[in-house]
Structure 1
Amino acid sequence: MIYLACYILSTIFILIYFKVADKYNIVDRPNERSSHKELTMRGGGIIVWFVALFYFLLNIDSSLNFFIGITLIGFVSFIDDIRTLPSRVRAFVQLFSVGVIFYDLNIFSIYPWWVILIAFIISIGIINAYNFMDGINGITGLYSCVVFASFLYTNNCVITFVNNDLLIFPIIACSIFLFFNYRKKAKCFAGDIGSIILAFWIVYILIILICRTSSIVWVMFLSVYGVDSICTILHRLYLKQ
């Protein structure tokens, strides 16, 4: 019943957002590197933040720091969708938000400084690579569904490490978003807010799983997207883009 309520309320929320985005002209304008040619609504990934809010309201005692982090990084990403922000502002907020979840998971008190430094670099790298690859209809939503489904399988069949809702809710958000995005002519794009929030959520789950098992093998859940990102970056460099 909770999942159905989340699905219905999230659908209503994104439909309301479409009205707002249309009124205030929050659109993605194609350039020479775009895979689309028409103006398309941007920021549809805001639905992921709404689902995070829904989860927070159901789990206030255990998810405050997670919600603070995802809200901060989501807010700045949404502003960047509307008007481009300086990279130093985005980088600072991303570092601070990741620091919030590190604090929530006691990373600062458990691991030495060099491990924390590496963790910061990898976390920020994943977040920005996820955002960088968000350019083809369906790619972000589908890949996120696969990753969260993999986490869900691990949580139920290998080792329990989080509340199932923390994995099911983002799948619900992605499924609704994909209905509007995974088509030849997308009604909306995730925007920075969608891709970065999804990446932040995945990083949070990944860190919990790594700490719970003392193994980094779970990073392999991101291997396909990682290889795709690296190859795309190399190709862009080759084309001097």
Structure 2
Amino acid sequence: MYFLETAILIFIGSFLLTYFTMPKIIWVVERKRLMDSPDERSSHSLKTPTMGGVAFFYTLIFALFFIRGRDVFDEAMYLIPGITIMFIIGLKDDLIVITPGAKMLAQVAAISFILVNPSFTIHSLNGFLNINEIPYYLYLTIGGFMMLTIINSYNLIDGIDGLASVVGMVIMVIYTTIFYLTEEYFFALLSITMNASLMAFLGFNLSSDKKIFMGDTGSLIVGFTISVLTLKFLALRPVVYTDLPFLLENAPLIAISILIVPLFDTARVFAIRIANKKGPFSPDRNHTHHVLIDYWGLSHKQASFIIGCFNLLFVMLFIVLGSTAKNLGMVIMLVSVVIALGYIFFKYNYNFATLKQKILLRRKVERIKSRVEDKSGKKKKVKPNGSFVPSENRKSIEEDQPLESRKNEDITY
């Protein structure tokens, strides 16, 4: 009962703190002109405030102060420097773009605080694929790589309104349930705190007049929190926890199912970029959510809802299978689903060769249409910002500009 009361207070406090301070962040960002400007790969057309993740940072810090007494191995004191590093590097990336290498070094520094805490040490895979004891150096390697993968995978799915929040909320609900059943109340409360912040942020992210993005500041903090919860989940011992609805030896596959959306999307996008002889971190619009919007005509809300529901159903399926199925059977099932998903997204010409051809063809058609309009007398001129307007609206634009600036703008498309 004491945990339930604490959970309710933490949830309400975290939600209200994020909800009532988000408008202040929007006001500061707009006043200081720190908004995100759209480019050729953006899913928005207007300058939008970013850095909503600032609210995530101080909400987590406040929550850790109140729940720190429940951490057996003083995990709160190890989380604070890691979260702070993620906040600083994310804030810097929102203000001035930094290199992937610098961001990776900061992430390594942040996860180092987590890996050295004995609470997160993975001593065994509990018989998964007949693997039991794990040497400490191997744990550091696997744990570090896993956390880096989760952080960057979550960062990459933050491409449309609502998606990162919805996926994050699904993940937090699942981890809240797992850690409550295993009586790891500190991590259950940590999940509740992050979930409350994401719920409060979602309303602003989907708003039409008070919109804000979480930015790298938010996605790195949430991704870091998810990676910490995943590492703790894999460190659970079967001799202690028996109330889970699945066999703990299937924990690695359950963890993959929980993170299926960011992991699948990252693997798919990296494969496309490498096949096109580009860097794996080079920006494009080949993400799964971009495919749903650009080619299937879904809205941001629809795409986010569909992906979130898929994530939840996928986890529920593997929890049911994990209650009785052996490791090998679940591995085969997971591989089969991933192959099926890849086939679905590539069947309709979403493959390495034709995806680029589709984009080039669409641009060519647009150019031809513009030339036809020009020949019919509907000439388009260039605005000062580079966009096009019909000739009949040219006069009002010219009257608002100095004569010298108008001399070089009479460009016919």
Q: TM-score, normalized by length of structure 2?
A: 0.54
Q: Distance in 2 between matches of 1:29 and 1:59?
A: 39
Structure 2 counterpart of 1:17: 25
> Of 211, 215, 218, which residue of structure 2 is paired with 1:187?
211
Structure 2 counterpart of 1:118: 142
* 1:8-56 C-alpha deviation (Å, 9 max, x unpaired): 2222222221121112222111111111111111111222112211212
Once the two structures are superposed, the pairs formed by residues 1-241 of structure 1 within 5 Å of their partners are 1-60=9-68, 62=74, 63-105=76-118, 111-157=135-181, 159-163=182-186, 164-183=188-207, 187-213=211-237, 215-219=251-255, 220-237=257-274, 241=284
CA contact under 8 A between 1:209 and 1:218: conserved in structure 2? Answer: no
CA contact under 8 A between 1:40 and 1:186: conserved in structure 2? Answer: no
CA contact under 8 A between 1:45 and 1:191: conserved in structure 2? Answer: yes
Shift of residue 218 of structure 1?
3.4
Q: Which amino acid aligns with 1:101?
A: I
Q: 1:186 to 1:198 in 2, by over 3 A?
A: same
Shift of residue 138 of structure 1?
0.5
Determine helix, strand or coil for the equivalent of 1:26: coil
Q: Distance in 2 between matches of 1:21 and 1:42?
A: 7
Shift of residue 5 of structure 1?
2.8
Decide which structure has greater helix share: 1
Task: Please identify the structure whose Cα radius of gyration is greater.
Answer: 2
Q: Distance in 1 between matches of 2:195 and 2:122?
A: 32
Q: Distance in 1 between matches of 2:258 and 2:62?
A: 26
**Greater shift after overlay, 191-200 or 115-124?**
115-124
* 1:196-236 C-alpha deviation (Å, 9 max, x unpaired): 11010011111111101474233221013311222233345
Q: Distance in 1 between matches of 2:113 and 2:173?
A: 25
* 1:120-159 C-alpha deviation (Å, 9 max, x unpaired): 12211211111111111100000000000011122234x2
* 1:96-142 C-alpha deviation (Å, 9 max, x unpaired): 10010112245579642133112212211211111111111100000
CA contact under 8 A between 2:18 and 2:201: conserved in structure 1? Answer: no
Q: Distance in 1 between matches of 2:218 and 2:183?
A: 27
Aligned length in residues: 240
Determine helix, strand or coil for the equivalent of 1:187: coil
Q: Distance in 2 between matches of 1:128 and 1:186?
A: 27
Q: Distance in 2 between matches of 1:156 and 1:117?
A: 28
Unaligned runs of 5+ in 1: none
Q: 1:173 to 1:105 in 2, by over 3 A?
A: farther
Q: Which amino acid aligns with 2:267?
A: I
CA contact under 8 A between 1:161 and 1:212: conserved in structure 2? Answer: no
Q: TM-score, normalized by length of structure 1?
A: 0.89
Determine helix, strand or coil for the equivalent of 1:40: coil
CA contact under 8 A between 2:21 and 2:55: conserved in structure 1? Answer: yes
**Greater shift after overlay, 169-178 or 205-214?**
205-214
Q: Distance in 1 between matches of 2:149 and 2:10?
A: 34
Q: Distance in 1 between matches of 2:139 and 2:63?
A: 30
CA contact under 8 A between 1:44 and 1:188: conserved in structure 2? Answer: yes
Q: Which amino acid aligns with 1:48?
A: F
Shift of residue 91 of structure 1?
1.5
Q: Which amino acid aligns with 1:225?
A: P
Identity rate, percent: 22
Q: Distance in 1 between matches of 2:58 and 2:269?
A: 31
**Greater shift after overlay, 109-118 or 95-104?**
109-118
